[in-house]
Amino acid sequence: MSKTKDSNQAVIFQTSHIDKPREGKIYFREQKGLFQRIRRYLSSLLMLVFILLPWIEFNGQQAILFDVGQQQFRFFSLVLFPQDFTLFMWLFIFSAFLLFYITRLYGRIWCGYTCPQTIWMLMFNWIERRVEGTHNQSKALDKAPDSINKWAKKSIKHVLWLNLSLLTALVFMSYFIPAKSLYIDFINMQSSFLVQAWVYFFAVCTYINAGWIKDKMCLHMCPYARFQSAFFVKTTTLMTYDTARGEGRGPRKMNQAKPEGKGDCVDCNLCVQVCPVGIDIRNGLQYECINCGLCADACDGVMAKFNYAKGLISYKAEQKQALGFSFNHVYGSLACLSFVFMLTWFEFRDSSEVNVLRDRQALYRINTQGDVENTYIIKTLNKTQQVKEYQITTDKMLGIEIAGDKVFTVEPGQLQTHVIAVVDKNKNRLGNLDSPFKDIELVITDIATDERFNKAVSFYQSNDAW
Q: Interface residues with ligand SF4 (CB under 6 A)?
A: 239, 241, 246, 249, 265-271, 274-275, 277, 279, 281-282, 289-295, 298-299, 302, 312-313
111 vs 199, which CB is nearer to ligand SF4?
A: 111
Find residue 163's DSSP bridge partners.
none
User: Measured between alpha carbons, how far is 16 from 214 in angstroms, rounded to an integer?
Assistant: 24
Closest contact distance (angstroms) between CB of 111 and ligand SF4 is 8
**237 and 107 Cβ atoms separated by less than 8 Å:** yes
Q: How far is the CB of 205 from ligand SF4 (least distance, A)?
A: 24
Tell me how far, at minimum, the Cβ of 241 lies from ligand SF4, in Å.
Answer: 6
The C-alpha atoms of residue 423 and residue 374 are separated, in whole angstroms, by 7
Residue type, 315: Y
Give the nearer residue to ligand SF4 in terms of CB position, either 12 or 295: 295
What does residue 365 show for φ and ψ, rounded to 5 degrees? Answer: -150, 160
For β-strands 407-410 and 388-394, DSSP reports them as: antiparallel
Query: How far apart are CB 233 and ligand SF4 at their closest, in Å?
Result: 18
- What does DSSP assign to residue 403? E
Nearest approach, Cβ of residue 284 and ligand SF4 (Å): 10
Q: Smallest Cα–Cα separation from 389: which of 463, 446, 427, 333?
A: 446
Asked if 357 and 374 touch (Cβ cutoff 8 Å), the reply is no
DSSP H or E run through 442: strand 437-446
Between 165 and 291, CB nearer to ligand SF4: 291
Give 99's contacts (C-beta < 8 A, 6+ positions apart): 110, 224, 228
Q: Which residues contact 453 (CB under 8 A, 6 or more apart)?
A: 352, 354, 443, 444, 445
Instruction: Confirm if 459 and 412 have CB atoms less than 8 A apart.
Output: no
C-alpha count within 13 angstroms, C-beta hemisphere, residue 140: 8
Terminal-to-terminal C-alpha distance of the chain? 86
Asked if 276 contacts 26 with a C-beta cutoff of 8 angstroms, the reply is yes
Polymer length of the chain: 466
Q: Of the two residues 274 and 392, which places its CB atom closer to ligand SF4 in the complex?
A: 274
CB of 282 to ligand SF4, least distance (A): 6
CB of residue 146 vs ligand SF4: minimum separation in angstroms? 33
Q: Which is nearer to ligand SF4, 195 or 219 (CB)?
A: 219
Q: Between 175 and 224, name the residue whose CB sits nearer to ligand SF4.
A: 224
Task: For residue 266, give the nearest of 290, 282, 287, 284 by alpha carbon.
Answer: 282
- Minimum distance of ligand SF4 from residue 340's CB (angstroms): 35
Structural contact between residues 342 and 108, judged by C-beta atoms closer than 8 angstroms: no
Beta-bridge partners for 74: 65, 79
In terms of CB distance, is 285 or 372 closer to ligand SF4?
285
Distance CA 214, CA 116 (A): 11
- Single-letter amino acid, residue 163: N
Closest separation in Å from C-beta 110 to ligand SF4: 13
Residue 65 or 218: the one with the smaller Cβ distance to ligand SF4 is: 218
CB of 127 to ligand SF4, least distance (A): 20
Identity of the residue, 80 or 313, whose beta carbon is nearer to ligand SF4 in the bound complex = 313
**Closest CB to ligand SF4 among residues 273, 445:** 273
